[in-house]
Amino acid sequence: MTSINPLTGKWDARYREATPHNVTYYTGCLLAGGLACGLTHAGMTPLDVAKCNMQVDPGKYKGSISALRLIAAEEGATGIWKGFGPTLVGYSLQGMFKYGFYEFFKDAYMNLAGEEASAKYKGAIWLAGSASAEVIADVALCPLEMTKVKIQTSPKGTFPTAFGEALKAMRTGTTFPFGSIVPIWSRQIPYTMAKFFFFESIAAMFYARVFTAPKETYGKPTQLGITFTSGYLAGVICAVVSHPADSLVSLMGKEANRGKSLGAIASETGLATLATKGLGARIIMIGTLTGFQWWIYDSCKTAMGFSTTGGK
């Protein structure tokens, strides 16, 4: 592609692919991102339930499988699906803004930098674009994430598990709707920066060193395979980077921690516990989740006639 804007005759990052990045493109990316994040996060609800309870009560919940067995024994089979509703809605909204605005900000920052600088400093643009998008996405996510965590970590019978009732209950005795925005930003912004930076880097490496013919010459199954593999590997890195903040978000939902500052919770828990408790479950969850997110996202993009992400 020549990357020349036909209206101005000048280089424009929005024209670097076969399909121009216009309102139709960004809208398609919003929808694809919502499907990618909403479906994958909701599908991983049982692992999320286990992870959150391991973080909140490590003495009782010692491993992913044993935690799920214990929760199922105490609360029935539906217990491991607690929080499905707010997870589906919250992460659908977050995914829309995360992916859609990443595409928008990436193009905008490339154009601000210019052709030469944007090629030289790709990594910085990926980081800036993903961070900017995540700030917006987390505002949409926060109320639903707080509700999800409260549902998942409350002892049976102490808090509603139905989505609508839980939302009503969150309005009293909690810092709802944005009380967790700082720890969510602390968790999600580094996570998303790592997720997009390493995905783009790994995908670029595949196209530069393994699949060295022009990207367009490879079939969609091959391109989507590269997308999934790059996403999975990026997800493993993301899980490690963001786990301490994720632990804090879970611990804030614990009744015993109501009213405590983040610093106090972190000090009482200890950095080692914040960084490691539930990490194995989160690596499995985030690696798989991120790989499928990118695969669903790029599958939707190709279905709409757009190019897959990465390698450009």
| Degrees to nearest 5, angle at CA 258 with 253 and 261 | 100
What number of other Cβ atoms are within 10 A of residue 242's Cβ? 23
pLDDT (0 to 100) of residue 198: 96
Greater pLDDT, 239 or 160: 160
List C-alpha distances in Å: 86 to 106, 142, 147, 231: 29, 10, 7, 24
User: What gap in Å lies between CA 251 and CA 56, rounded to an integer?
Assistant: 5
| Degrees to nearest 5, angle at CA 284 with 91 and 311 | 70
Mean pLDDT across 2-15: 93
- HSE value, Cβ hemisphere, 13 Å, CA-based, for 53: 30
Sign of CA dihedral 224, 226, 229, 231: negative
User: What gap in Å lies between CA 211 and CA 230, rounded to an integer?
Assistant: 13
Helix, strand or coil for residue 58?
coil
Residue 278 · residue 55 · CB < 8 Å: yes
Please tell me the least confidently modeled range out of 27-36, 136-145, 185-194, 205-214: 185-194
Residue 11 pairs in a beta bridge with 4
Mean pLDDT across 180-201: 92
Q: Is the pLDDT of residue 213 over 70?
A: yes
Q: How is residue 209 annotated by DSSP? A: I
Among 44-48, 56-60, 130-134, the range with the most confident prediction by mean pLDDT is 130-134
User: What gap in Å lies between CA 170 and CA 229, rounded to an integer?
Assistant: 39
Q: Which of 283, 244, 293 is nearest to 265 (CA)?
A: 244
Using one digit for the tens of pLDDT, what is the confidence trace for 154-169? 988 999 999 999 999 9
Domains and CATH numbers, the chain: 19-303 (1.50.40.10)
Mean pLDDT across 304-308: 96
Using one digit for the tens of pLDDT, what is the confidence trace for 70-112? 999 999 999 999 999 999 999 999 999 999 999 999 999 999 9
Place of tokens 């804030």: 252
pLDDT (0 to 100) of residue 1: 53
Residue 244 CB contacts under 8 Å (≥ 6 apart), including other chains: 271, 274, 275
Residue 54 CB contacts under 8 Å (≥ 6 apart), including other chains: 61, 62, 63, 64, 67, 277, 278, 281
Which pLDDT band, with edges at 50, 70 and 90, does 245 fall under?
confident
What does pLDDT average to over the chain?
Answer: 92
Place of tokens 């996202």: 297
Report DSSP letters for 125-159, one per residue.
HHHHHHHHHHHHHHHHHHHHHHHHHHHHHSPTTSS
Chain-centroid distance, C-alpha 309: 16
Among 18-22, 26-30, 234-238, the range with the most confident prediction by mean pLDDT is 26-30
Residue 71 · residue 53 · CB < 8 Å: yes
Which pLDDT band, with edges at 50, 70 and 90, does 249 fall under?
confident
Q: Is the pLDDT of residue 118 over 80?
A: yes
Chain-centroid distance, C-alpha 185: 12
Q: Is the pLDDT of residue 218 over 80?
A: yes
pLDDT (0 to 100) of residue 240: 86
The model's pTM is 0.85
Residue 303 · residue 263 · CB < 8 Å: no
